[in-house]
Amino acid sequence: MNLWNYIVVCLSLLLLATLLWWEIRRINRARRIGRVIATILLVAGLAAIVLPVTYTGSRIAGGREGVLLTEGYDPDSARIYLSSGVEVKDLSDLHLSALHVLGYGLTEGERATISDVPIVFHPSPMHTGIMSLHWAQQLLPGQACRIQGSFYNTTGGPVKLLLFGVSSLLDSVEVRLREGNFELRTVPVQADRAVYRLAVVAGKDTIEQESIPVEVLPARFLKILMLAASPDFENRFLAGWLSEKGHGVVIRTAISKDKYDHAFLNTPAMAVDHLSSSLFAQFDIVIADAAELRAMGAAEHAALWDAIAGKGLGLVIKADSLSHDADSVRMHGAGKILQTTLYTTYARLLAGERKDYAALWTRILQQAAREKEGAERWHFSPALPEVDHPVNILLQTAASMPQGLLEEGNGPVSVYFAQHPFLPFYWSGVYWPREAGWQAVSTPQGTRSWWYAWKEGDWATIHRRDRLEGTRRWIAARGEGKGAVMEAGEVHKLLVAKGWFYLLFVLSGLFLWVERRI
Amino acid sequence: MAKGTNILSTVRRRWMLEGIVFYVLLSLSVSLTLWILLGRWGYGAPLYGIGIFCLLSLAALLLFRGWKITLVDTARALDRWIPELEESSHLLLRPENDLGALEKLQAARIEGRLDKAQLPHPFRIRLIISIGLVVVAAAPWAIKSISPPDTHTASGLEKATPKKSLLPAIQTVRIRVTPPAYTGRPVRSQQDLNIQAEEGALINWEIQTNTAVDTLQIILSDSAQIQLQPAGPERTLWRWSTVAAHSGFYQLRLSKEFSDLYKMEVIRDEAPRIVIRTPKPYTIVDIGESRRVPLAAKVQDDYGVQDATVIATIATGSGEAVKFKEQVLPFRTVFTGNVPAYDLQQTLDLDALGVHPGDELYFYCKARDNHGAESRSDMYIISLPDTAKLMSLEGLTMGMNIKPELFRSQRQIIIETEQLLHGKDSISVQAFNDKSNDLGVDQKLLRLRYGKFLGEEAEEGGSEESFKKAGDSPADFGNAGKVLDAFTDKHDNAEDATYFEPAIKQQLKATLTEMWNAELRLRTFKPREALPYEYKALRLLKDLQQKSRAYVAKTGVKLTPLDPAKRLKGSLDGIGQPVIQSTRTQEPSPEDKLRMALSVLDRQDAFTSPAYGILQEAARQLGRQAADHPGEYLAGFQALKRILAGTKAPSDAHLAQQALRKLVPLPEANPSAPNAPPDTGLSQLYFNKVNKR
């Protein structure tokens, strides 16, 4: 109990004494007892409106309790706990019987430093906002950017999520439920990096506004070998479309016995009459008529299947009436085999449905294409790196003793890596981003990759949720073997809602007033 | 005395009024508090608040009963409030004659005192308190409802208006636009340098400068430079005029200074629009229907319609012997040339036009506006079927037919109906009626015959389901034969064939309706009225016959692969192998450069030399578009120019991006090699191990 509470109690007692004095001195003696009770209730109600009234259950026995206030704590409950415990500032040295953690919980760093003490967690309720989110930061040209996530809505009304990019509204979605998933979709029009904005709007208020960085990677052209058993429109149009898109295409069409028609589009001429492993190694995809596959010699056949299984070559078979293979897509070693029965897709192109044609063949070829191995691959954690917070960099490379170069305002900064003890191609290091925005990373020999660092305070709801869930999990895991850890559900000290006292005050006042009129 | 009574009644009124107001205010404050509390528990509807307020006010007023205060009560109360009245104010209420001498004296004394005394406000303090209570009670609600005005904008993207800066040396610019005569619009003057002018309008610039200027130029769409001539020797007034022909933009140049870019939009004259409301694009006038077809059309133009006519063409004959006759039918409306819209009516009298059965009338409307632009509507067709043709057997001998004898029957009914009508005068009424009834029976039989195609078994026709449910009796439960019967189509039995497409079934049903109508007339001895229905039924049947012809769309061909083992065994020595080689440029396309420019603008950092080049290329493309569509692209073009010049405003990048975005289509899907992690040999090792097992 602090001074304020004493003052309130004294004043209320004074008021009660005065009022009771009046009641006893009153000439009209009818219903005196009723009036006295009503007066006591009136003053009690008034006092309870001001004082924090709690009801308590079993408490942790003995000792001193500490209170740790983290972001988002409720001041009223803080007052209750602080009235019986001490506020904790330094986490490293705690001699307490229990520690109450109020708010959204502890960060990972704080969790690591905290000493052995039973912890009671009082999580604050979540606010309206984006709770989780995923999107692909790096996209291929023409690939749609899909932003999926879940949303927590406490406003009670509909909330709109708007996606802005390159100065226009790209997509929007309305969330009506308390908790719901959403998806926003757009095909980026820019050719390189851009930062989209995701705004959360309730009515006319913007609740949240976040940056969504998106990078469209440069197109990487495929090299495709087409083996046709007879000339047809389908191959001709497909080759035309692919070469127009910049891909290298070699077509070998059988026109007679051992006679072939050759076309080399966007590639230098080469000998393709005899198929060998060295020839297949130059291509990403082979599109072959089923008849042409059957006509292959044993050596050619073996070379092709070796290239698929060992080197990841893709094979698209154009099935005919003699094909019996039922699978339309299957894996064979490192490569993929697709089977299609579509022979007249060129009709779509002729009908002007170029978009459909492109979508169809992109889907087919994208699935079959041989994967291009990069020299290095970068991973950054946490998923939403923040300025002035440590970012763990994980580099996957075959090179020995790599070094990370991170570009800053005045020249690149080196990050030195530690090698993984079991997987020698994993290298990890830590970097603290200095400025928000796009960050360039490279090795001295390699190419530049881009990642993004957010301002401090961005994605507030996601960070809060992470902290809350993390603290919960940490407490649950900690409970084993440490005994006296309490769960947040076992809290026995709760505020009584003020509304009840308000009602008590009004009703007893009303009674006193009405009684005098009767 | 009367004065005293007056004062008393004033006090009474005041007492009553203040009392009522006090109690109402009190109940308002209590009900507000209760209502806010209820709101916290989810019953915050205003109706609840009003209800509580009404109840409490009623209760308070019942307690107070202010209207029951009498003058006597007032006098008593006054006696208590003002001691000087010496408990005698009630004397003022009594009639003067009733008072004794002493009482009269006292009354006069009291009246004087009452006059001088300050009259009490019995509820003043309580009123102030109650107002305070209301304010306190309403405070939380008021705080909640008056939320701070929000300053956020939904988009977060600033709406930028291009700033209008005139060159400092230019004092005023007056632009006069003289629209051409056909628009009928007056001459207008404007100060704004952005111009919207009708096609062919004369635009006059009058530029006044502060000081004498050497040269003043107008640069049109970034290309043509026009040297302006001064209007006087002091070289401060410059004039230039041109005829608005193309949209574009222009810029003023004063010796070495350039102004902003300004729009010059040309509004083109549109051709009249014609909408024909009736008849439908293809109308069949059946026998018995009116041969006068009403035509209603609406003609609209942006300035005025000069003239409109109907051009009708009659096609007579068939095969190679078709003859055409064209007629021009003017509308009866008088066209003045300056009314922008007309509702036009005309009647196409087929007989007067000379359209005979079997002929077709093609017509369209033509309209001309006062600028000479002409437009015409789509072609509309009115067809008059030839009943004689329907009777011919020609069509039946070819193609598939469903049931030839049925068609003949319908035709037979028509022939006999016509014969009956022809011989009406020569036979008795009884015989006429009998014959008509017989024909009706024939028609009925025919209708039932067709009903079978639809699976209608009952005489009055029914739905398909009723047919299927016919065997649905409890005794048949589990009878496999019956169940199969209900769910199979017996194509091998022609009589039971119910395998028709929905569209054909629909038409069959329509045919049955016509037959039913014909039968009704025949049975009520009105063969003349039955005739149109009979013809219609026949025409529908003929259509059905045409529909039964199958159409197979042409599909792609996949040639059978050659088998070299069996074929092509001849000598192929002299045959060469053709080789085609082509390489497309790997340069980024203009569209790709725009895409890159979008990204460069998004980053908004200092422009390096390649980025600057990309923006310059984008500005060139945007400039070309701005010349054609200044309204859409000029603001973006200006913004991009400012960015390139290094004098950008905060919103310029947005403006430029918005304009560029309109130029760039959504990218087409394109396969691309997927990314894989660097080759560490791990997966290969794993694959080999798995393969060994």
DSSP assignment of A274-296: S--HHHHTT-SEEEEEHHHHHHS
Q: Establish if A400 touches chain B: CB-CB under 8 angstroms.
A: no
Distance (Å, rounded) from C-alpha B673 to C-alpha B320?
63
Range of the domain at B46: 2-145
| B627 lies in the same domain as B519 | no
Nearest CA in chain A to B655: A167
In terms of phi and psi (left: phi > 0; alpha: psi -120 to 50; beta: otherwise), the region of B337 is: left
Give the CATH number, domain containing residue B210.
Answer: 2.60.40.10
Of the candidates B602, B671, B680, the beta carbon closest to that of A190 is on B602
Do B288 and B238 lie in one domain? The reply is no
- Residue B672, min C-alpha distance to chain A (Å): 5
CB atoms within 10 A of CB A324: 6
- The answer to whether residue A422 neighbours chain B at the CB level (below 8 Å) is no
3-state helix, strand, coil in chain B (%, to 5): 45, 20, 35
Same domain, B287 and B251: no
> What fold characterizes domain A376-453?
Immunoglobulin-like (2.60.40)
CA B181 – CA B269 distance, rounded (Å)? 12
| Min Cα separation A354/chain B (Å) | 9
Calpha distance A143→A214 (Å, rounded): 12
pLDDT digits (tens, 9 = 90+) for A198-240: 999 888 888 888 899 999 988 888 999 999 988 888 999 999 9
Q: Which A positions 206-245 lie with beta carbon below 8 A of chain B?
A: 206, 209, 216-217, 219-222, 229-230, 232-234, 243-245
Does residue B298 lie within any of the structural domains? yes
Domain boundary among B206, B239, B267: B267
Check CB contact of A174 with chain B, cutoff 8 Å: no
A190 interaction partners in chain B (CB closer than 8 Å): 595-596, 598-599, 602
How far is B221 from chain A, CA to nearest CA, in Å? 26
Residue of B368, B373, B376, B375 whose CA lies nearest to B307: B368
> Is the confidence at residue B471, as pLDDT, over 50?
no
ipTM of the prediction: 0.73
Sign of the torsion angle spanned by Cα atoms B655, B659, B660, B662:
positive
DSSP structural state of residue A454: B
Percent of chain B past pLDDT 90, that is, above it, reads 2
Q: At B522, which CATH number?
A: 1.20.120
Q: Kindly state whether residues B262 and B296 are assigned to the same domain.
A: no
**Residue of chain A whose alpha carbon sits nearest to that of B569:** A257
If asked whether residues B6 and B119 sit together in one domain, one would say: yes
> CA end-to-end span of chain A, whole Å?
42
CA distance B664 to A167: 13
Residue spans of the domains in chain A: they are: 3-53+498-517, 56-125+464-495, 223-368, 376-453
pLDDT in tens, B302-343: 888 888 899 998 888 776 677 888 888 888 888 887 888 888
CA distance B683 to chain A (A): 9
> How far B147 CA lies from chain A's nearest CA (Å)?
11
Rama region for A333: left / alpha / beta (φ>0; ψ in -120 to 50; rest)? left
Q: Tally Cβ neighbours within 10 Å of residue B83.
A: 8
Provide DSSP, B314-364. EEESSGGG-EEEEEEEE-SSPP-S--SEEEEEEEEEHHHHT--TT-EEEEE
Tokens of B343: 């509702």
**Are B674 and A344 a contacting pair at CB < 8 A?**
no
Burial class (CB in 10 A: 0-12, 13-18, 19+), A3: exposed
Task: Spell out the per-residue pLDDT of chain A, length 518, in tens.
Answer: 567 788 888 889 989 988 888 888 887 777 888 888 999 999 998 888 888 776 654 444 445 677 888 887 888 878 877 777 777 777 766 667 777 888 888 887 787 777 667 777 888 888 888 888 999 988 888 888 999 999 888 888 888 899 988 888 889 998 888 888 899 999 988 888 889 999 998 888 888 888 999 999 888 889 999 999 888 889 999 999 999 888 999 999 988 877 888 999 989 888 888 888 899 999 999 999 888 888 888 899 999 998 998 888 999 998 887 777 766 888 888 889 999 888 888 989 998 899 999 999 999 998 899 888 888 888 998 888 988 888 999 988 888 888 888 888 777 888 888 988 888 889 999 999 888 888 888 888 878 888 999 988 888 888 888 888 888 888 877 764 443 344 444 444 556 667 888 888 999 988 888 887 77
Query: Is residue B462, in this structure, part of any structural domain at all?
Result: yes
In a domain, B174, yes or no: yes
CA trace torsion B352, B356, B359, B361 (10° rounding): 10
| Number of helical (H) and strand (E) elements in chain B, helices listed first | 18, 21
Residue of B nearest to A217 (CA): B672
High-pLDDT (> 70) share of chain B, %: 82
Give dist(CA A128, CA A206) in Å, integer: 11
Is position B616 within any domain?
yes
Within-domain flag for B670: no
Domain count, chain B: 5
State the Cα–Cα distance between residues B64 and B21, nearest whole angstrom: 11
**In the block, residue with structure tokens 């007249």:** A344
Residue of A166, A219, A396 with shortest CB distance to B661: A166
Q: CB–CB of A164 and B582 under 8 A?
A: no
Chain B contact set for A289 (CB, 8 A): 561
For helices A498-517 and A32-50, angle between their N-to-C axes, nearest 10 degrees:
150
For domain A223-368, which architecture applies? 3-Layer(aba) Sandwich (3.40)
Domain assignment of residue B83, yes or no = yes
